């Protein structure tokens, strides 16, 4: 392989590595965003107004997420992931999202809202 060919191959490999990093799901703290999204996915029918109340699976997952988020970094991670996930749910009703923990009997200790500043 000539010097010029090696530089082209290296540039392509670096470009692919950067592309893969940009496509990867972000991880904040020790909690993976994919885990958070899959945990709250059973809540979507309620959050979009297509179910009269959250399912037992939804509430169990909300309770489990609270237990998993035992450190400040983890709580921030869950907050950031939920905010990112909420922006991708068509028809999400903010008032239902804000009241979800209470509907599930889970005290999060912080308000759940798209306006919540996760860094605080």
Provide the pLDDT for residue 1: 55
Q: How confident is the model at residue 20 (pLDDT cuts 50, 70, 90)?
A: very low
Torsion of CA 37, 43, 47, 52, to 10 degrees: 180
| pLDDT over 50 (residue 11) | no
Provide the pLDDT for residue 87: 84
CATH 3.30.750.24 is right for the domain spanning 27-103: no
Domain coordinates in residue numbering, the chain? 27-103
3-class state of residue 77 by DSSP = helix
Provide the pLDDT for residue 38: 93
Position with higher pLDDT, 85 vs 113 = 85
């Amino acid at each position: 392989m000539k010097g010029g060919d090696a530089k082209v191959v290296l540039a392509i490999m670096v470009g692919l590595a950067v592309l893969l990093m940009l496509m990867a799901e972000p991880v904040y703290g020790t909690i993976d965003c994919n885990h958070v999204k899959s945990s709250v996915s059973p809540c979507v029918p309620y959050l979009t107004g297509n179910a009269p109340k959250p399912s037992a699976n939804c509430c169990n997952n909300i309770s489990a997420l609270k237990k998993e988020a035992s450190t400040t970094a983890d709580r921030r991670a869950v907050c950031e992931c939920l905010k990112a996930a909420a922006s991708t749910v068509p028809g999400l009703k903010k008032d239902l999202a804000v009241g979800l923990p209470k509907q599930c009997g889970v005290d999060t200790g912080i308000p759940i809202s798209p306006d919540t500043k996760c860094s605080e």
